[in-house]
A and B are shown apart, each in its own frame.
Chain A
Amino acid sequence: MQRRQSSKTPRQPLQAHDKNQTDLSAWRKGGRTDPEKSVQNHQSLQDQKNDSKQDSLEQALGYFEKLEHRVSLKKNSVLQEHLTTVESIALQTGLPPEGFDVLLKVALSGKLADAVNTRLLKSLVPASVIPEDAVVYSVSLLCVGKCSDNIQLLFLRWLITMFDFIDHKEQLHALYGFFFSFLQDDKMCPYVCHLLYLLTRKESVKPFRIRRLLDLQAKMGMQSHLQALLSLYKLFCPELVTITLSGKMKTYFKNSEGPWKEAINTVRRRNKGNSPVSQTLFLRTAQPQSRKRKWNAQLFIPASSTNKNSLEEDRGKNHVNLCRTSESLPVEQLQTFSQLLQNIHHLQLPSQMGSVLTNPLLLHYMNCIKDESVYLRLYYWMGQILQEECIWCVADNRYEEEFEDFLETIYKSECFLQEGFSACEEFLYKSLPLWDGSCCQSQILRLVSWIPLNTFSEMKSHLYDPLTQLFLTSSLYFKCSVLESLKELLRNWLNWHLDSESESPVQSLNTTLSGLVNVVADLINFVGLISTAALRLENNNAFLLYFILDFYETVCDMYLKYNLPLLIMLPAGVFYPALLSMDSINLNQLCYIMYRYRSNLVAAKENEQSKKKILQFKFSSQTYQEYNQYITAMVGCLWTSSVFEKDTHPQGLRMDDELLKKTAVREFKSSFNIVYHPAMTAYAIFFLQQACPEDTTLDFNIIKGKRWNWYLEYLYAQGLKGLKVFIESSISRVSKACQSKA
């Protein structure tokens, strides 16, 4: 339990980062930066000072976190020390976000004396932001009523003062009803009014709340704080609050900034001086400069229909014939299935379509209704925000983490819808040529896999060309990631083809089958090209080969699995490195791929011959020829030990005996069969050790006849299933000759 607690705490500042709202002023952003980083800018003396401060604060927080029993301040010097540390750091530099969780819990739990709690609360000055979770937890402690009235009041005053520092307020808004119930407490009433005043939104204004406020006013007389809240209610819903309120009141709430005002100013001044934000960049660009975050740079929009609703309510009032709108139900408010059934004829989408991205229910609904306007709204919003927030297209954009999250969200929505957004596609085309290949790498590459089918000329200049440049000049890992994403792209296209075929036999989309075949062929040829180059650059790296063969596992099965009349053999630059690969996984995979090629080609040939349906497309004889060349080489290599004579492929292994003799390898003919192949020798050794444990010479030559068959069984049992299906399909065991029926 203890451990989990402590491991949770350090992660919290990160969470605070994520949720950080955009409207924080510049100095608070300064506080957001990693404390360690900003420390680096200072001289070493200050470094040490800060470090020790940091340490003692951590110790103090740890102490308060573990505090279990009531401790008296006078008798406990440790408590005194830690309390002083917290106070001094809080008043000088402010507390980090993770401090609030701990200190609020302690101060409101009633474990310590009120004097200590007061001092703790008074020192709760934020360096950057206050995490919402900490505040929500404190409110729950408040409801339990463990702390004294004075502490409750102080906490409320603190909350009012710090309201703008809370990083997120959604959950706090959900507690509106709780706060409202505190109104009955006479002492708390003024402060609760003030807090409600800050929290109130239009949807918080309810008739029963207005009634309650009016009751209170009748009981307590004209109180300025009640007046304030009522006037706000009236502002939002003039039709519900009909009483007249005096407009003379100048101040509704007493100065509640209390003990924190001075400290906030001090911290603010201090952090402003130190923050890297103040060291503005000297770069000048054609883009309009704004050091502040743009007012509409909100990547994640909560679903809300209130604006539209109010608009339409008002419309309804003025124009009676517009009654259609007044009854509609916002989709995001759906709770139950029966509710859905009752309202299915007048569901209403949120006023900003951008909000569907974070709401699966809305995505579902959007997918079902297939309304052009819905897609257009999303298209415009997403296109603009992607361009404006893209960190490598817009200079001086520092919100990388947030942008990464946003791209991730888009990708997830695309997976959910099983279809790419056209705005995102256009964004990729525009931004890929400028991309450095590292920024938001995994997100960008995954988004690539949802690019819809396009004509080749577009794909070439927009996708393949920029990708090739990055691909050839980047790391092995990047190459593998690109291949992975192109494999996904191919699969998405093939699945899409399968879907559209099953939906309607006639192609409803403007892509014809031949168009589709051409574009898919282009993609496969492109991958063949970069794979060949990459294998040379990376010295036939096994890891890379694995990703390449993974791609071809989809390619070799397109005819049977995806019903696409297209088969493209893997290029020699991939086939031979795989055939001579040093590791058995890749060799086994190659065997499997060749087996699937065979199945697909045989099926195609049969269909062609039976002529059950008139085939629009025929595989070219070149494909069959290429397959036969490969299979000859493979069988000659792995089985008949005749590859150097029989391989007819121009890039193949055919070699003169004279030349081979010069290599001084004794039995060169058999050196690539399933016993001697470098990827297989390990199996051969283990087999010999098990088959003839007494023989320590490890003579591979004894794997013959009956032992050859045992050896095969042994290999199959070791999981070389690809090899098994390949041998069983492509090698006729009786004649032991190469026979390719295809």
Chain B
Amino acid sequence: DKADPQKTAFLLRKQWTLYSVTPLYGFSTTHLRDYARLLSAFIAAEKQKGLAVEVGVELDIKVAVSSLPDLRGSDQDQAAILIQLSSRSSQKNSEEKLIWSGWFCCVYGNELSENLPEDFTCLPLFLVNGAESYTAIVGSWFQKTFDCYFRRLAISPLNLSWMAAMWTGCKVEKTTSATELIFSVSCLPQPLDISYTIHPEDAKALWDTIQKTPGEVTQEEVDVFMDCLYSHFHRHFKIHLSATSLVKVSTAVASAHCDGIIKFLQSQYLTGVLMLLTELAISQIQ
């Protein structure tokens, strides 16, 4: 809500792979430049492991570590940290090309940060866009340097249904995209995916009849919402969606896949989505 839409615009409409990260030990925001330098040396060394390749005097990958001060929930939260890798092509004066980016963030992570000693920095959610090989190198460096642990953050079907309900209820000015739920029937020899698309206004109308108190969502309401969708689908296709598993939710606010991949679409709801994801990351850590 606080975040300046312009400053976080680059986070939108990209696929981010989610990780949970245990608290960083000995991390300090005053040393971000040093971290960038060390990380770039580490990347260069990792890339040259094994076979002898050219060692340029100038490193071919530039690392930038910066802080995104607006991106947090409360003042207790640590500001988000952005890491960007860009490649420099051989010709001089040519533009640097962004090849990988990842960011740590924490939105209302009090549950985890409250009881931590001072040496620890609580940034439980890590989002990555780029090749996995770079994720591995950057992750390894952070693990070695700050004694933390990265773990892929999957989103369970239950949490996906929460997202479906919550995001359906959000007001979006231009309702361009439909609400889509993808279900997977995994027990068949050939996996079958069922896509269920609903007009966003219809979905919102349904949700509004279910939600009792605005600004508050209960498990019961989410269940009712999903059950309504299921019975509607059953009436038309005679398929019980409750027997399948929800694997993807796309709405105008964001889209989320059960493998732990997310795409933010509305900057006004960015922190809201991040808050939910922070909560999921914390529950995976604790």
Contacts and interface: CB of A to CB of B under 8 A. Distances in A.
A318 interface: yes
Contacts of A664: none
A235 B55 contact: yes
B50 A380 contact: no
Given A307-B145, A315-B34, A253 B52 contact: yes
Instruction: Find the residue from A249, A288, A307, A315 having the highest chain B CB count within 10 A.
Output: A288
B119 A296 contact: no
A380 B148 contact: yes
Contacts of B186: 284
A164 B189 CA distance: 38
Interface in B36-51: 37-38, 41, 44-45, 48-50
B228 interface: no
Contacts of B52: 194, 197-198, 228, 251-253
A289 B260 CA distance: 11
A274 interface: no
B57 interface: yes
Contact of A381 (B37, B49, B149, B191): B149
Given A296-B140, A307-B145, A289 B259 contact: yes
Nearest to A426: B286
Contacts of B23: 376, 380
A384 interface: yes
Contacts of B135: 295
A236 B45 contact: yes
A231 B55 contact: yes
Given A296-B143, A380-B285, A235 B41 contact: yes
Interface stretch (B150-158, B196-204, B232-240): B150-158
Contacts of B48: 232
A247 B58 contact: yes
B278 interface: no
A250 interface: yes
A372 B141 CA distance: 24
Contacts of B258: 286
B170 to A, nearest CB: 25
A236 B45 CA distance: 8
A252 B23 CA distance: 42
Contacts of A163: 50
A351 B147 contact: yes
Given A235-B55, A253-B52, A288 B45 contact: no
B54 interface: yes
A311 B117 CA distance: 21
A458 to B, nearest CB: 16
B69 interface: no
A477 interface: no
Contact of B149 (A289, A290, A384): A384
Contact of B184 (A232, A250, A284): A284
B255 interface: no
A244 B57 CA distance: 9
Contact of B56 (A247, A310, A318, A352): A247
Interface of B: 22-23, 25-26, 31, 34, 37-38, 41, 44-45, 48-50, 52, 54-58, 116-117, 119-120, 132, 135-136, 139-141, 143-145, 147-152, 154, 156-157, 184, 186, 189, 191, 245, 258-260, 285
30 contacts: A163-B50, A164-B50, A232-B48, A232-B55, A235-B41, A235-B45, A247-B58, A250-B54, A252-B52, A288-B152, A288-B259, A295-B136, A296-B150, A307-B141, A307-B144, A307-B145, A311-B34, A314-B34, A315-B31, A351-B144, A373-B117, A373-B119, A373-B120, A376-B117, A376-B120, A377-B147, A380-B23, A381-B22, A384-B285, A387-B151
